[in-house]
Structure 1
């Protein structure tokens, strides 16, 4: 299969919604079918059963987000600018797709599969920035830096979802403060965090091409 069917996309979106709303990693076939607007048989035809569904959804969410970031940041050379833009785009997506943001907030610190959100493009930009002398932390502190960044992103997403701040405001401040913490001068961090964002395919259908539920 070269891509996801319409039913698979509906199931994927419904699964994210149910997991995000309930904060639990288990749903029934009936619940998923109702949320997706499909028959129970469609669920069985696409999934077989629901064992491992949460891990599949979480893994695909992480892979798909990293694919979007790689595409959006193509041609941008400075790793600090890439990191800042990636953080801001996470908040934009949480605003555009609240269920995506709620899912990430609920499980982003606990689900092993979701750790790839941080260990994909953000980690690559941290490695590159460290190699170029853009950051002031030690290489053995990478895991701590990733933990700090992921926690900051999730906290900022909460402020956006609750309407306390716009995604633009929260994203710019998030990027500025993270860059300062990583060792950039305040003036440079401020300038980088306000740069215009690239095009970003927020709101595209799930799952990504070639990443489909097992039959």
Structure 2
């Protein structure tokens, strides 16, 4: 599964925008398809293919953002932060929390 997110003018979107949009897509998906959201929360980090969606794609965007100067941080720890943020957000939506 691969997504291409572009700005309105057709250029590649800002890496920070791609990360934020990806998070919103996953949270919206969990809200609209709760069974799929529960599956991602429960098995998302145990299956290598699911882990690739939750870690590899955002990490590429984060690395692009670091290279472009959009983030003042670096390292692999940021990938863990993003994955935890996605899983936590999905869990909160599935539990009925609204923000």
Q: Which of the five TM-score ranges fits, normalised by the shorter chain? A: 0.7 to 0.9
Q: Secondary structure at the match of 2:70?
A: coil
- Within a 5 Å distance, the mapping from 1:4-43 to structure 2 comes to none
User: Residue in 2 aligned with 1:39?
Assistant: none
Cα displacement (A) at 1:124 = 2.1
Give 5+ residue unaligned stretches, structure 2. Answer: none
Aligned residues: 94
Q: Secondary structure at the match of 1:115?
A: helix
TM-score by length of 1: 0.41
How far apart are the structure 2 equivalents of 1:124 and 1:150? 13
| The structure with more radius of gyration | 1
How far apart are the structure 1 equivalents of 2:51 and 2:45? 8
Q: Secondary structure at the match of 1:137?
A: coil
User: Residue in 1 aligned with 2:24?
Assistant: 88
Q: Secondary structure at the match of 1:110?
A: coil
Give 5+ residue unaligned stretches, structure 1. Answer: 1-62, 170-215
**Runs of 4+ more than 3 Å apart:** none
How far apart are the structure 2 equivalents of 1:130 and 1:97? 33
User: Residue in 2 aligned with 1:114?
Assistant: 50
User: Residue in 1 aligned with 2:94?
Assistant: 161
The CA RMSD over aligned residues, in Å, is 1.5
User: Residue in 2 aligned with 1:74?
Assistant: 6
TM-score by length of 2: 0.83
Cα displacement (A) at 1:137 = 1.5
User: Residue in 2 aligned with 1:130?
Assistant: 66
Cα displacement (A) at 1:77 = 2.1
1:114-162 C-alpha deviation (Å, 9 max, x unpaired): 1111212x12211210111111123xx12x2111111111111111111
